[in-house]
Chain A
Amino acid sequence: MSFLEYAPAPESRAILNLRDRYGLFIDGEFVDGRGTPFQTISPSTEERIAEIANANEADVADAVAAARRAYDRIWSRMSGRDRGKYLFRIARLVQERSRELAVAESLDNGKPIKESRDVDVPLVAAWFFYYAGWADKLDHAGLGANPRALGVAAQVIPWNFPLLMLAWKIAPALAAGNTVVLKPAETTPLTALIFAEILQQADLPPGVVNIITGAGDTGAALVQAEGVDKVAFTGSTAVGRAIAKQIAGTDKKATLELGGKAANIVFDDAPIDQAIEGIVNGIFFNQGHVCCAGSRLLVQENIHDEVVERLKLRLSTLRLGDPLDKNTDIGAINSKEQLERIRTLSDVGVAEGAERWSAPCEIPENGFWYAPTIFTNVQTSSRIAREEIFGPVLSVLTFRTPAEAIAKANNTPYGLSAGIWTDKGSRILAVADQLRAGVIWANTFNRFDPSSPFGGYKESGYGREGGRHGLAAYLSPAPIGQTALTAGRGAAKPRLETSKAASGDLETAAARPPRSTRTRSAKATTKGSKK
């Protein structure tokens, strides 16, 4: 028997309590959608998970109206401290239900459970905790005293990190005092809908967060909907461009976090074993479905052969298979369409003369899979060195001098992220200074933290998410003349009585413990009495 064929260690699905059908989450309740519902499947088995409602334009309008009502009547009038309480509560509930969320994420998205468990879900909680702390400190967000919320935020998120992207969007929006209509990707709506249940559990006032499901047309309707003040989108550059056109000429503000073709630059004095790990983590993390993935490896020519050799050895130890197995390193490709795209671009790579090498791994019969692949002999003009593949495919290029490395790294319409590997600190600073990318990692890759702003240059989008900058994207400065003393935060037409009444009610509501805690303390009492 081979030890390396570790016996199966599947995470149990029993923790999931899924419904057979999910509606739209509007105004605090699940309601039926008026479009044709669709099925969400598990990409690793193609097995159906649940039926998901489809929001048509009328549903979108309802959701936006609910968000507007919640904004006018409740959320914009609530004190930052109370908004913070809700966010802290959500963060704690995410932690409490972390295992369930991780299993659901891996099931619906295809990513390995070790990533959803150790990266995605902990970061989701971290994001809510971080922005919960900001909610009553907006005066320090860099916009002067009393910055105002923008109003209703329409948020459209991708399928690669379904729950994490939700957190990146919702947490700062709520902390800043906005209300939200969010649309998850149609292939990965599951965790957003479980998150809606968490919002109910947290007693978040109805309408503050609305989650509507559907495909691209639902997203387009949401972005264009009347009453939306802010659009936040993460996804492909093509869709981002379309959104920018749609909202041009309106007073909607936008942040767009789009594609990337990041250069991961390895100098010959790099800590080689860690660089290999970093390259693997840079492109094979989440099957390469990462907008900031290090998909272009730039290796100093004198160590090219050694790096490629070591990379192949390392890739041969990656374990591809059941996303719910705790030992899986590479999960399933999220959808058939994406798999087709990866295949097409890889074939283009071969046709253009690059050399393809794929890790030897057994591909399961059902589901969508692509073995970790590296291309050597890639030229800067190759399509696989220019276009975002969004899959586990690495293009290896070489350079001879730091200047050449910088030139090649910057020679892309994108500019989301980059990596530098060298033992020389001064070189890290010098190179980082000249790279045109929003995020630069030195001797590491794909590390995220809520306090660190994230976003792109050029066609990788505009605006920043995370940190103080991410908060500012949901705020505008107080109008001149209205100062700290008088301004009611974000309220377009201050209605004093309503405001008082509403905030009074909510003071009490927010002071109540969330449902789960209450259940838990009830249980504790029962236990105690048994003794």
Chain B
Amino acid sequence: MSGTSLVTARERALAVLGGEPDDATLGRYLHGIAGVDAVGLEQRAASLATRSIKTSSKQWALDKIITLIDLTTLEGADTPGKVRSLVAKAMTPDPSDATTPRVAAVCVYGDMVPYAIDALGAAHGDPDDGLISVAAVATAFPSGRSSLEIKLADTAEAVAAGADEIDMVIDRGAFLAGRYGEVFDQIAAVKEACRRPDGTSASLKVILETGELVTYDNVRRASWLSILAGGDFIKTSTGKVQPAATLPVTLLMLEVVRDWHLMTGQRIGVKPAGGIRASKDAIRYLVTVAETVGEEWLVPHLFRFGASSLLNDVLLQRQKMATGHYSGPDYVTID
């Protein structure tokens, strides 16, 4: 998967903002966007969550969820062995059922990228072609508390090692202090660091860490800011801060993506990450995507789940739909 060109991103931002992306211009723009009514947003999310997805629709949804998963391991204790095991699971989620699709990507720390690529072998590639991408978290993940040089080096190293996608974190401190220009510049610089020598570019996911932004108004502004600065995806969370992904936050980010598409024609991806463990919850996200931005967003380059335990629950549900009865955790593999 490749990211969009940086030059167009910057030009587009300048056109939208009508000026240089400094604190004042960005502040004026971001604060001019209509506010979010928390009660109303949560109500809408709750009503989407009451959709009843049955039989053939459920079957389709379960397979779709698998193809949208970024199977993730982001622990201090990660080892090459753990990553190989994760990759094996990504390639063959359910050894008892060959019709099970593959996940979209594996998501690991930057230093684990070579092991992931090695383990994937021929299966490494674009998830739109049924292959599996390697996503790496970068920019002093998860806190982002580091100098820009280190963040860029972190990114460049992962890209050089072969990562197809970079999951960066924004500087929440700078954002909350109103230094929007700084956040913009960092995203733009990381985007630049995603470029490969051959001119192509790794896809950039921008993690907002919504659990630290707290208000929906902040989430909306941070979403716009990230898209303006050139992010290919906006992602809710690192998974290290609670609350991580919630349905209302994801709905809000999808609304931003929809509005951006209406305005510019460009499609931006959304990735809720952390806390989505049950198939039932994941189906609610699919419903929310389909009813907010449309079904065409339900493809790996426009929507992802950042999750680890979700996959096994989906597999259990798939088995249940095939056999008519529930098996148990021993009938799906741990990675």
- Residues of chain A whose beta carbon lies under 8 Å from any beta carbon of chain B: 1-9, 114, 118, 269-275, 277-278, 317, 326-327, 423, 443-444
Contacts and interface: CB of A to CB of B under 8 A. Distances in A.
B33 to A, nearest CB: 9
10 contacts: A1-B56, A5-B57, A7-B54, A7-B55, A272-B34, A273-B34, A273-B44, A274-B44, A327-B51, A444-B39
B61 interface: yes
Contact of A7 (B34, B35, B58): B58
Contact of A271 (B34, B54, B291): B34
A427 B37 CA distance: 16
Interface in B27-68: 34-37, 39-41, 43-44, 50-58, 60-61, 64
A271 B36 contact: yes
Contact of A274 (B37, B50, B51): B37
Contact of A326 (B41, B50, B58): B50
- Which of A274, A277, A443 is most buried by chain B, counting CB atoms within 10 A of its CB? A274
B219 interface: no
Contacts of B286: 3
B7 interface: no
A118 B51 CA distance: 12
How many chain B residues sit at the interface, stated as a range, is 20 to 34
Nearest to A273: B255
Contacts of B291: 4, 317
A270 B34 contact: yes
Given A6-B53, A326-B50, A273 B58 contact: no
B277 to A, nearest CB: 22
B45 to A, nearest CB: 11
B53 A269 contact: no
Contacts of A443: 37, 39-40
A290 B114 CA distance: 62
Contacts of A269: 34-35
Interface string B278-305: 0000000010001100010010000000
A5 B295 CA distance: 11
**The 4 A-B residue pairs with the shortest CB-CB distance in the complex, in nearest-first order:** A274-B40, A9-B52, A326-B52, A271-B37
Nearest to A317: B291
B39 A3 contact: no
A423 B35 CA distance: 7
Nearest to A424: B35
Contacts of A2: 295
B54 A1 contact: no
Nearest to A114: B50
Contacts of A270: 34
Contacts of A3: 57, 60-61, 64, 286, 290, 295, 298
- Which of B34, B39, B295 is most buried by chain A, counting CB atoms within 10 A of its CB? B34
A444 B40 contact: yes
Contacts of B52: 6, 9, 326-327
A46 B335 CA distance: 56
B113 to A, nearest CB: 33
Contacts of B57: 3, 5-7
A271 B35 CA distance: 5
Contacts of B37: 271, 274-275, 423, 443
Given A1-B56, A5-B57, A443-B37, 15 more contacts: A2-B295, A3-B298, A4-B290, A6-B53, A7-B55, A7-B58, A8-B54, A9-B54, A271-B34, A271-B36, A271-B37, A274-B41, A275-B37, A277-B40, A423-B37
